[in-house]
Amino acid sequence: MVDKCFGSNGKNGCNILTVRKCQQDKCSFYKSTQELEEDRKKAYLLLAALPPDMQRYISDKYYNGRMPWVKSNCAV
């Protein structure tokens, strides 16, 4: 179960949260890598639908000027 979570460090720990031990399915942040990819695609679709000036603002603020949603396979 632990190794199936996208945040697993492979040593029963977490790369996302500051916890000593992985809580496995009790963790509200638990997500498989497939679920992470699906959520990311949904977010990219929403970002791609925004006006260009808003996309630029978000890319500058949160993505160091990059727009990964433009090059992804989930274009609008």
Copy the structure tokens of residue 31.
């997500």
pLDDT over 50 (residue 69)? yes
Q: Quote the pLDDT of residue 5.
A: 84
| 5 three-state secondary structure | strand
Rounded to whole angstroms, the Cα distance separating 33 from 49 reads 25
- φ and ψ of 60, to 5 deg: -70, -40
Copy the structure tokens of residue 44.
């990219």
Q: Using one digit for the tens of pLDDT, what is the confidence trace for 13-67?
A: 788 887 777 777 788 888 888 999 999 999 999 999 999 999 999 999 999 999 9
| 20 three-state secondary structure | coil
Rounded to whole angstroms, the Cα distance separating 60 from 8 reads 29
Confidence of residue 1 (pLDDT cuts 50, 70, 90): very low
